[in-house]
A and B are shown apart, each in its own frame.
Chain A
Amino acid sequence: MKINVFGDSISALVCAGCLAETGNQVTLVGHRDNERSEPGLAKLLDTQIDAGRLHVSNAFDIEAEYQIIALNPDQCLEGKQIALALAEGNHPERCIIIRANFTMGTSQRIAELAKIPCIVNPDFASEGRAIQDFKRPDRIIIGCRNPLAQQQFKRLFAPFNRNRNVMIDMSPESAELTKYATNAMLATRISLMNELALASESLGADIEEVRQGIGLDKRIGPSYLYAGIGFGGTHFAKDLCRIHKIINPSDSKEGLLEAVIRINEQQKEALFRKFWQHFNCHIENKVVTLWGISYKPNSTSIEGAPSLELIKAFLNQGVTLQIFDPMLEVNFMIWLRENLSLEQQKRVEIISDMYEATENSDALCVVTEWQAFLSLDLEQLKANMNTPIILDGRNLYDKAWLTDNQFIYYGIGR
Chain B
Amino acid sequence: MIETQAYSNLQRLSETMQTQHLKELFAQDPNRFDAFHLRMDGMLFDFSKQKVSTEVVDELLNLADEQQLESWIKRLFDGDRINHTESRAAWHTALRDVSEPRPEVAQQWRKLESLVNQIHQKQFRGYSGKPITDIINIGVGGSDLGPLMVTHALEQDRLACAPEVHFVSTLDARQLHTLLRHLDPATTLFVIASKSFTTIDTLSLAETAKEWLLQHAPNPQVVVNHFVGISTNPTKMTEWGIIPSQQLLFWDWVGGRFSLWSTIGFSIAVRLGMTGYNEMLAGAHAMDQHFKNTPFKQNIPVLLGLIGVWNTNFLNLSAQAILPYDSRLKYFASYLEQLEMESNGKSTRRDGSPVEYRTCPILWGEVGPNAQHAFYQLLHQGTERVMSDFILFSQWNSPSKRGSFHQNLNIANCLAQSRAMMIGESSEDRHKHYPGDQVSNTLLLKQLDAHHLGMLIALYEHKVFVQSVIWDINAFDQWGVELGKKLALNILGHIEEKSVEGLDSSTANLLKTIWKQHHEN
Contact = CB atoms under 8 A, between A and B. Distances in A.
B35 interface: no
Interface string A260-280: 000000100100111111001
B121 A277 contact: no
A304 to B, nearest CB: 16
Interface centre among B121, B129, B218, B225, by most chain A C-beta atoms within 10 angstroms, is B129
Contacts of B118: 316
A237 B127 CA distance: 29
A312 B123 CA distance: 8
B128 A277 contact: yes
B219 A276 contact: no
Nearest to A274: B129
Contacts of B129: 269, 272-277, 281, 313
A316 B121 contact: yes
Nearest to A282: B221
Interface in B98-145: 118, 121, 123, 125, 127-130
Contact of B218 (A275, A277, A313, A317): A277
B159 interface: no
A365 B77 CA distance: 56
B218 A276 contact: no
B123 A281 contact: no
Interface in A221-239: none
Interface residues of A, number: 14
Contacts of B127: 277, 281
Contacts of B128: 273, 276-277
B222 interface: yes
A280 B222 contact: yes
B53 to A, nearest CB: 63
A266 B123 CA distance: 13
B410 to A, nearest CB: 33
B123 A280 contact: no
Interface in B202-251: 218-219, 221-222, 225
- The bracket for how many chain B residues form the interface is 10 to 19
Contacts of A312: 121, 123
Contacts, number: 34
Nearest to B220: A280
Interface in A120-137: none
Nearest to A270: B129
Interface of B is mostly: loop
B219 A280 contact: yes
Contacts of B130: 266, 269, 273
B113 to A, nearest CB: 13
A316 B245 CA distance: 14
Interface string A312-325: 11001100000000
A281 B222 contact: yes
Contacts of A266: 130
B378 to A, nearest CB: 47
B520 to A, nearest CB: 43
Contact of A280 (B121, B125, B221): B221
B359 to A, nearest CB: 52
A269 B122 CA distance: 11
Contacts of A281: 125, 127, 129, 221-222, 225
Contacts of A272: 129
B435 to A, nearest CB: 56
Q: Which of A272, A276, A281, A313 has the most CB of B within 10 A?
A: A281
B123 A313 contact: yes
Interface string B382-403: 0000000000000000000000
A285 B118 CA distance: 18
Contacts of B222: 280-281
A281 B128 CA distance: 8
Contacts of A276: 125, 128-129
Nearest to B117: A316
Nearest to A309: B122
A280 B218 CA distance: 9
Contacts of A269: 129-130
Contacts of B218: 277
Nearest to B128: A273
B82 to A, nearest CB: 43
A55 to B, nearest CB: 48
Nearest to A312: B123
Contacts of B125: 276, 281, 317
Interface in A271-319: 272-277, 280-281, 312-313, 316-317
Nearest to A277: B129
15 contacts: A269-B129, A269-B130, A273-B129, A273-B130, A276-B128, A276-B129, A277-B128, A277-B129, A277-B218, A280-B221, A280-B222, A281-B125, A281-B222, A313-B123, A316-B121
Given A281-B129, A316-B118, A316-B123, 11 more contacts: A266-B130, A269-B130, A273-B130, A276-B125, A277-B127, A277-B129, A277-B218, A280-B221, A281-B222, A312-B121, A317-B125
In the A-B complex, list the 6 residue pairs whose CB atoms are closest, starting with the nearest. A273-B129, A276-B129, A316-B123, A281-B222, A280-B221, A281-B225
